[in-house]
Structure 1
Amino acid sequence: MIRLSEEHLQTIRTYAESTYPDECCGIILGYLASEGKIVVEVMPTENAWNTEAAAEFPGKRTTESKRRQYAIAPEIMLKTQKEARNRSLNIIAIFHSHPDHPAIPSECDRLYAWQGYSYIIVSVQNGKAGELQSWSLDDHHQFQAETIENII
């Protein structure tokens, strides 16, 4: 389970709408508790997907654009990880949007996902954020739906 406030959810939705028709992405900081992952901060990041980023991944992803792919620059991940550590937090989730597609992970999402993180996907249909779902990888590297609990 991942627990977010309405403000956190709104930040994700607003950012997803602002980047439409491209995918948005970002990092979510928080901590692990007995009741699940607790979100403290949602940090929108630039979608750094480009042909150079695509070259880092195997397969035929080099022709894909930001409309169907996202990447968070490695230096942003590292910087955010250090800042989180200094605040006694962790990166607990990654979010991104699916423009004009459902909030269901793609095969590419699965291939490049890291175990231990939640992956929040928001569907953006015709520029308007809609369905939002969270996913996490199981022991077989398959996505399983994760409950989102709204906290006040």
Structure 2
Amino acid sequence: MTSSLIEELRRLAAQSAPEECCGLLLGDEPLAVAQSCANVSDEPRRRFEIDPVALIAAHKAERAGGPRLAGYFHSHPEGPAEPSFTDRALASGDGRVWAIVGAGEVRFWRDGAGGLELLSTVVTDG
């Protein structure tokens, strides 16, 4: 991933605290970009739910030749950059990347058939 993506994710998390930020990762790795979305969860301090209108728009744009929906991101304002119990329960196995921001770091996870698996990350200036 690029250092600019990681810094943008940290910035969005800090800006949204104490609520969880969330959004989409668009484009191809390692040059994906973050698109912030509204967190429409009933409990935005404890959970995230990406605005379904933004998610549907991203899928439509991808089908029309726009940027690929590479994955999703969200923050844990009071926790580590690791999937919570809820995150693991909501994982769909779609193969996309989840970026989680917490405790000052950003970690990337693959949503695979076996659940969320930590990815090794190489940071480039990109």
User: When the two structures are superposed, what TM-score results if normalisation uses the length of structure 2?
Assistant: 0.88
Given that 2:91 and 2:116 are in contact with CA atoms closer than 8 Å, whether structure 1 keeps it comes out as no
Alignment of 1:49-64 (within 5 A): 49-50=41-42
Partner of 1:149: 122
Partner of 2:107: 133
Given that 1:93 and 1:119 are in contact with CA atoms closer than 8 Å, whether structure 2 keeps it comes out as yes
Given that 1:29 and 1:91 are in contact with CA atoms closer than 8 Å, whether structure 2 keeps it comes out as yes
Given that 1:29 and 1:84 are in contact with CA atoms closer than 8 Å, whether structure 2 keeps it comes out as no
* Structure with higher strand content: 1
**Percent identity at matched positions?**
27
Which structure 1 segments of 5+ residues have no match?
32-36, 51-64, 125-129
Which is further off, 87-96 or 66-75? 87-96
Q: What one-letter code is carried by the residue in structure 1 that aligns with 2:112?
A: D
Root-mean-square deviation (CA, aligned residues, Å) is 1.6
2:1 corresponds to 1:22: no
Which structure 2 segments of 5+ residues have no match?
none
Q: What one-letter code is carried by the residue in structure 1 that aligns with 2:18?
A: P
Higher-Rg structure is 1
2:6 corresponds to 1:9: yes
Distance 2:46 2:31 in 1: 26
SS of the residue 1:105 aligns to? coil
User: When the two structures are superposed, what TM-score results if normalisation uses the length of structure 1?
Assistant: 0.74
Aligned residues: 124
Given that 1:28 and 1:39 are in contact with CA atoms closer than 8 Å, whether structure 2 keeps it comes out as no
Partner of 2:59: 81
SS of the residue 2:32 aligns to? strand
Alignment of 1:73-112 (within 5 A): 73-112=51-90
Q: What one-letter code is carried by the residue in structure 1 that aligns with 2:105?
A: E
Distance 2:88 2:31 in 1: 22
Structure 1 residue 87: deviation in Å? 4.0
**Equivalent residue for 1:44, pick from 32, 36, 41:** 36
